[in-house]
């Protein structure tokens, strides 16, 4: 019996390895598509990606996997497995149950529709024509509805939308998010009001002075060197490329990031490099011996975002980091930073102002963009909002929550690619990331009271080590809520994030 258990567990981990190797192979091909592929290759590429998806899906749902899982779970020696082994079995079981219920046909159709829909979205966005996008989006939504219905049954969630949320943030529900976001909204509105009534007006124009791309490359390299994301040494496990939208991808020893350089908006690439480095370091720092196992992955998309935003915002936009960087930036940027004092620079990169575009939003108003998307997603999958109503609903909410007027759908409901790709349930992760980050910061402040002083002297190591030990290395050993509890001793709470913002913005805006 015990041999049976050991042997079956070993076999399960071998399957996990095959599956992970396949997925990482697919990840490289995806990366290539975004960064290097000649434009004509797109059709061949979609064949490659959908075949690898299908092979991975079949590998996952092979009936022998069910047999292995049964053998392990029902074995009388099961309780002798350690915590990590049990978690591996649990994660594999969850994934198997979910995928096994999805028909091959739905998997293939969804993957093809995603390719089509993203393609049409690009064209429709360029043409500012929601009507062009509408029918493909409707098809995508109905495919996701089918999947959500099936997964609701497997996961036992209350609603189909909860099943989608769970795929990105295990254990999270729309009810809980509504509750959290209500608190967050209140806190953010309060800060927004204080900012509005402040006399301080950060001079953001100084950030749009022209800095050549080559100089920006040097700045990006400095940022990566600062956080010790290695893209240059003989043992490097990372690299930086250029794409329209920055992203990160990879696994353990090969994790890559991208950025975009704007001549007239140079801080954009500095902060996107920091953001993506935060993602990359998380992947690289997961406990090495868990490679190829289910626990050898990030805990959730929300935790992932907490790490990227921690590096970008909490560290990267801190007065201490900016103080350390300013003299170096001055040398590289030349005239663009001439005569710019530290306090003006700190205020400019932390300006709070309601805007139309999520990815350009500041730390405070960002959450409002997410609340809008969450409410709309939730209502779509509850049958309360129809596809044709999306532009109107979107524009109304932007007016109501952010006080901005959307002029056309390309700066409105079509600004993001997520829905075109079928990633409903993803958006909340971004805001959860901010909230987790606030909680981690509070704990780190108490564990490492000297961290800001160290950053000011150019030393990221204490922060990097704290994040690695407390978050990164833990991989997927815990569901996000449990991980947060392990690290901070608390259940999810909004206060630390709001406190952090109030302190920081209060200092800049004088409240």
Instruction: Write out the catalytic residue numbers.
Output: 276
Neighbours of 493 (CB within 10 A): 16
Contact 49, 29 (CB under 8 A): yes
Q: How far apart are CA 432 and CA 173, in angstroms?
A: 12
Q: Which is nearer to its own copies, 212 or 458 (CB)?
A: 212
Minimum Å gap between C-beta 295 and its own copies is 17
Measured in whole angstroms, the distance separating CA 227 from the mean position of its chain's CA atoms is: 19
Minimum Å gap between C-beta 11 and its own copies is 16
Place of tokens 């710019």: 340
Q: How far apart are CA 433 and CA 308, in angstroms?
A: 8
Minimum Å gap between C-beta 29 and its own copies is 5
Q: Which is nearer to its own copies, 291 or 485 (CB)?
A: 291
- ∠ CA 491-495-497, rounded to 5°: 100
Alpha helices in 228-356 (DSSP H): 267-285, 301-309, 319-333, 342-349
Q: Which is nearer to its own copies, 41 or 334 (CB)?
A: 41
**Integer CA distances (angstroms), 65 to 89, 150, 291, 334, in order:** 11, 20, 20, 61
Neighbours of 121 (CB within 10 A): 21
Q: How far apart are CA 100 and CA 63, in angstroms?
A: 9
Minimum Å gap between C-beta 91 and its own copies is 20
- In the complex, the residues that contact its own copies under the rule CB under 8 A are 17-18, 21-22, 24-25, 28-29, 32, 36-41, 43-45, 47-48, 51-52, 55, 231, 234-239, 251-254, 256
Measured in whole angstroms, the distance separating CA 111 from the mean position of its chain's CA atoms is: 21
Q: Which is nearer to its own copies, 158 or 228 (CB)?
A: 228
Q: Which is nearer to its own copies, 250 or 422 (CB)?
A: 250
Q: Is the dihedral of CA 124, 426, 291, 488 positive or negative?
A: positive
Q: Which is nearer to its own copies, 254 or 493 (CB)?
A: 254
Minimum Å gap between C-beta 28 and its own copies is 5
Torsion of CA 471, 472, 475, 479, to 10 degrees: 30
Computed on alpha carbons and rounded to an integer, the radius of gyration of the chain in Å comes to 23
Two structure tokens written together for 137:
């989006």
Contact 184, 372 (CB under 8 A): no
Two structure tokens written together for 429:
């992760």
Measured in whole angstroms, the distance separating CA 38 from the mean position of its chain's CA atoms is: 27
Minimum Å gap between C-beta 235 and its own copies is 5
Q: Which is nearer to its own copies, 231 or 350 (CB)?
A: 231
Minimum Å gap between C-beta 305 and its own copies is 24
């Amino acid at each position: 019996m015990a041999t049976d258990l050991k042997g079956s567990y070993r076999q399960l981990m071998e399957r996990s390895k095959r599956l992970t190797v396949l997925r990482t192979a697919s990840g490289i091909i995806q990366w290539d598509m975004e960064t290097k592929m000649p434009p004509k290759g797109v059709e061949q590429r979609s064949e490659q990606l959908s075949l690898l998806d299908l092979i991975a899906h079949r590998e996952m749902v092979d009936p022998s996997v069910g047999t292995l899982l049964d053998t392990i779970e029902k074995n009388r020696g099961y309780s002798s497995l350690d915590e990590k082994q049990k978690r591996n079995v649990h994660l594999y079981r969850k994934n198997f149950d979910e995928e096994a219920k999805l028909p091959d046909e739905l998997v293939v159709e969804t993957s093809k529709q995603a390719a089509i829909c993203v393609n049409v979205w690009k064209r429709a966005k360029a043409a500012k024509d929601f009507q062009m996008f509408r029918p493909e989006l409707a098809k995508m939504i109905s495919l996701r509805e089918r999947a959500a219905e099936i997964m609701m049954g497997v996961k036992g969630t209350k609603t189909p939308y909860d099943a989608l949320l769970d795929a990105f943030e295990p254990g999270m529900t729309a009810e809980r998010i509504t509750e959290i976001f209500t608190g967050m909204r209140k806190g953010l509105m309060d800060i927004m009001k204080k900012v509005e009534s402040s006399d301080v007006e950060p001079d953001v124009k100084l950030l749009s002075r022209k800095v050549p791309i080559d100089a920006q490359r040097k700045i990006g390299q400095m940022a990566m060197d600062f956080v010790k994301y290695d893209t240059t040494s003989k043992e490097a496990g990372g690299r930086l490329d250029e794409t329209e939208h920055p992203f990160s991808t990879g696994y353990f020893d090969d994790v890559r990031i991208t950025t975009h350089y704007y001549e007239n908006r140079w801080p954009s690439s500095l902060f996107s490099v920091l953001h993506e480095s935060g993602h990359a370091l998380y992947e690289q720092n997961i406990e090495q011996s868990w490679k190829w196992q289910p626990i050898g992955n990030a805990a959730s998309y929300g935790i992932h975002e907490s790490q990227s935003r921690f590096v970008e915002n909490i560290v990267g936009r801190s007065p201490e980091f900016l103080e350390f960087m300013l003299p170096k930036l001055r040398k590289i940027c030349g005239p663009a930073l001439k005569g710019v004092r530290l306090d003006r620079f700190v205020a400019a990169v932390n300006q709070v102002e309601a805007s139309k575009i999520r990815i350009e939003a500041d730390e405070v108003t960002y959450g409002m963009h997410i609340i809008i998307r969450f409410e709309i997603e939730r209502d779509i999958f509850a049958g309360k909002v129809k596809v044709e109503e999306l532009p109107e609903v979107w524009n109304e909410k932007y007016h109501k929550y952010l006080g901005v007027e959307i002029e056309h759908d390309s700066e409105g409901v079509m600004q993001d690619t997520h829905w075109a790709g079928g990633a409903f349930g993803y958006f909340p992760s971004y805001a959860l990331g901010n909230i987790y980050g606030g909680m981690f910061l509070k704990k780190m402040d108490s564990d490492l009271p000297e961290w800001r002083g160290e950053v000011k002297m150019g030393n990221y190591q204490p922060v990097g080590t704290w994040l690695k030990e407390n978050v990164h290395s833990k991989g997927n050993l815990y569901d996000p809520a449990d991980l947060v509890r392990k690290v901070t001793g608390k259940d999810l709470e909004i206060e630390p994030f709001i406190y952090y913002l109030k302190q920081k913005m209060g200092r800049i805006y004088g409240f």
